Every structure is written in C-alpha cells, then in structure tokens.
Structure 1
Amino acid sequence: MPPTDASTDADAGPAPQPAGAAEDTLDLHLPDGLLSLLAESAPEPGPPGPGDSDGDSAAGRPAGQDLLDSPGDWAPATTALGQFRLLPVTPERDLALLTRWMNDPAVAAFWELAGPEHVTAAHLRRQLDGDGRSVPCLGVLGRTPMSYWEIYRADLDPLARHYPARPHDTGIHLLIGGVADRGRGVGTTLLRAVADLVLDHRPQCPRVIAEPDLRNTPSVSAFLSAGFRFHAEVDLPDKRAALMVRDRALRNLL
C-alpha cells in the first residue's frame, strides 16, 4: 500500500512553507527528454473492443498482463484548467523534480519521503520493479508537469484488508507540486478528471478509491468536491484515513 497522501487544494500540513518556496517550486527547468515527450501528440485510443471487457489492453496484451490498462496510453482530459494528461514516471528524467516536491514541507508532512534523491528513488523503484499493480505518473497540465499521481489496484493492495474491496477497485494518490496551484480548486478539478479517466479506460472498475489522511482536511474536502463520497474511517498501519469512494453508478450524480 503506498504510504500516504498529500495536500490537494490547499497548502496543508503542520510545517509552514519556507520563504520563497513558491518561487523555487515553480522555477521548473524541464529535461530535454520530457520536453520532447510533451511536444509529441498523445495517441488517442479508440473505445474498448469486445475482448477488452476481460482486461485485455488496447495494445492486445493478454488478460491480466496489464493490471491497470496502461494509464500512459489514456487520452488527455479536457478540463477547465486546460488539457491534462498522465505521463508515466521515468526516474532518469523525473527524479530531481519529484525529490524537490517531496522535500516541500507541506508534502513531506504526509508523504514522509523528504531527503536526498535515493529516498524518492526507492519509493518509485518499488512500483516500477513490481508487477504493475501501481503506476507512478506525472500530471501534466498543458505542457507543465505540476503534480504526481499513483494509480493502483486497490483490490490487490494491502488496503483491501481494511475495507470491503471489490474486484478491479482502482485507487489514486495525488500531490500538487507547485505551491501556486494549491488552494484554488486545482486539486478538485484534477481529481474529478483523473477519476473519470480511470472509469472511462478501465471498464471493469466499479469504483475509484482514495484514503487521504483524516487530518488532511483540505485533501478530504477536495475529494468530496470532486464527486467522491465519504465511506468510513479506517485505521491503516501508518495513519487513520478517510476512505473516499467515487462510484461508477453515481459518477454523473455527484
């Protein structure tokens, strides 16, 4: 189970922001490799074919080989903030940026990954070297990488021991990297967009699940505003969490 969540709509957390933090976080010098990727047009997958209902990916992989239906291949989402896409993390390209975000006090208060690059690298490696049940992604708004996401199979995660999981439940973790993107509804907009991406591209997924720290009230509020409902309080090994659920059946009602 990925360990924690982070603030979404607000600059939340017990530690205050250091002077100049917004300046430092927003002064992004993107690697050439990332710029090249962003310059390319993302291919738009067609609707799921008949074989996809059993878990086959659009690329024709055997059922079960791709546990999350390739988030990197999902079409971008059009939001009120602009076009948004998920870009699977490549440590060689993204590690410095992600380490910088993990050392922001508001993020570190909940993710607990502050420190040198090897701390963030180890967290990423556990996912990238695994069986694909969790995919770490950059969230790219327009051409700017501004958030970090983990899309994971909640029903195959240790989290499933703590709630009545259903097959193909899909979980999300989020942190907003830029201080200027917090506290103005960005998290809510992107949470709704990513939940819709999951439901659109994972036809077997009945629900999108999240488990923000109960103390992180801005994060819980952002999930509620994004169409999630509060299901229960759950005691996890590292936190007391608010179990948030966005149901496929209710996606157009909340």
Structure 2
Amino acid sequence: MPSTDPGLGTGSEDTLDPHLPPEWSAWYAEEPRTPDQVVTPTAGAPLANLADGATADTPAGPFALVPVRLDRDLGRIAGWMNDPAVAAFWELAGAPEITAAHLRAQLDGDGRSLPCLGVLAGVPMSYWEIYRADLDPVARHYPARSQDTGLHLLIGGAGNRARGLGSTLLRATADLVLDHRPLCHRVIAEPDLRNTASVAAFLSAGFRYSDEIELPDKRAALMIRDRAHRHVL
C-alpha cells in the first residue's frame, strides 16, 4: 500500500458527477478510444463515477481531478515514481511497467480505488488515489465506518513541493468528497509516520491525528477529516 505523500459500506451508493471548466477542454479533450482503452466500471462499483473532472477553486488556482488514462498518463506518473523523494514512500520506482501494473490493478478492478491526476490551473502536477477505505484491507487496522473514503497523494516535481500546496489540495479534495458523497462522513488517510511533512500537511488541511496504526508495509498515522468539523478546522 503506498504512503500518502503531499509534501514532496452499505446502502445507496453516492458518486461524484462533476464537470470540467470549458476553458480547460484543450488539455482534457480525448481522442476516440479503442475498446481496449475504455474502462467500464463494474456494475454497482462503489465509486463508479468519482472524479470525472471534479473541480474546486483554491488559493493556488482552479483544481481538477481527472481519471488516469494509461495511454496518456503513464510516462508522467512513472517519471514521478522514479523521483527518489517519492520512491522512498511509494516504492514503485523502476521501469514504467511497474507503475502500469499498479495502475491497471485499479483501472481493471471493481471501482473501489480510482487513480486520478490532479490538475492545477490546467497543469497536471499530482497523482491521487481515492478509495473506499471501509472496503479496503486498511479497514482491518482501524475502526472503519461505512462509506469511509481514503486518499493517497503525491505531488510531482520538486518545484511544487514545500510551498503549502499539499495542504491546499488535500483540503480541496477532501471537501469534494464530502460535498459529492453525502453518505461519507469521514475522509481518512494513513501516511507513513516517517513522513513528518505529510502528517503536518494533513493537520494543516483540517485532518486530525486519530491513532498510530500498524499496516503490513509501514507504521502509519491515521488521519481523519470529519464532515461534522469541516467548517471549523
């Protein structure tokens, strides 16, 4: 399971169904896809329509989540994974096929985890995984609640790190989840405890430190952003 790195259920299924700003259409315009490029979520997938262009205004500019396409995005994401600052926590450095396998496991899965590019002011600059934490193996390691939604994040490019963007984008993305998934009452994350910059970014984004948990591949800080406290933190 990757480490979140910003510094560098039951019942009815509620999903995001947002729209991209028209002025960004040039970057997002897609060529017609061949059958092997089309990803069709499993019927009833927990996050079937999540983040197909979810947008938010932030102090750093308009921010959008765009579902990953292997044919378009693999080179960019694999390059980020080979940055030593990222590789130390994500452990996906190496040939592009390593990153491709990680992405395909989500794209070809049942919709419980969706990989997205984060696009700030029209520029792809971060990679996200938004997942149903209550249906994920992580739920065995903390008191999960129905519809808990988890985040993994890396910011690509050293120029975008260490200037507060992690906190800004974490807050924006958590709010998008809470706005568009009314049955979700908590957004969670489990950054590696060694990644103090990541933990600090979550705290600045309105998450609270809940617990220290032992996961198969790391000792993690359980960070939670509660719907009930989102307007005061």
> TM-score normalised to the size of structure 2?
0.85
Q: CA deviation at 1:7?
A: 3.1
Of residues 131, 136, 151, the one that matches 1:152 is 131
The within-5 A match list for 1:194-205 is 194-205=173-184
Query: 1:240 maps to what in 2?
Result: 219
What's the counterpart of residue 99 of structure 2?
Answer: 120
**Is the aligned partner of 1:184 residue 2:182?**
no
Corresponding residue SS for 1:72 = coil
Q: Does 1:109 align with 2:72?
A: no
Query: 2: distance between equivalents of 1:162 and 1:208?
Result: 16
Unaligned ranges ≥5, structure 2: 9-23, 31-42
* Distance 1:207-1:6 versus aligned 2 partners, 3 A rule: closer
Q: Is the counterpart of residue 38 in structure 1 residue 17 in structure 2?
A: no
1:38-93 Cα shifts (integer Å, max 9, x gaps): 369xxxxxxxxxxxxxxxxxxxxxxx714125223354100000000000000011
Match of 2:144 among 165, 177, 189: 165
For 1:206, which of 180, 185, 203 is the aligned residue?
185
Structure 1 residue 65 and structure 2 residue 44: aligned?
Answer: yes
Deviations 1:168-224 (A, max 9, x none): 000000000011111010000000000000000101001000000000000000000
CA 1:75/1:95 → structure 2, altered by over 3 Å: closer, same or farther?
closer
Decide which structure has the larger Cα Rg and report it. 1
Aligned to 2:118: 139
Give the AA of the match of 1:97.
R
Alignment gaps of 5+ in structure 1: 12-33, 41-63
The percentage of counterpart residues that share the same residue type is 66
Q: Are 1:82 and 2:61 counterparts?
A: yes
**Which residue number in structure 1 is paired with residue 228 of structure 2?**
249
The answer to whether the Cα contact below 8 Å between 1:69 and 1:202 also exists between their aligned partners in 2 is no
1:44-59 mapped onto 2 (5 Å cutoff): none
CA distance in 2, matches of 1:35, 1:92: 18
Q: Tell whether the 8 Å contact from 1:8 to 1:188 is kept in structure 2 after alignment.
A: yes
Equivalents in 1 of 2:225, 2:47: separation in Å? 17
Report how many aligned residue pairs link the two structures.
Answer: 206
- Which 4+ residue blocks in structure 1 deviate beyond 2 angstroms? 34-40, 71-75
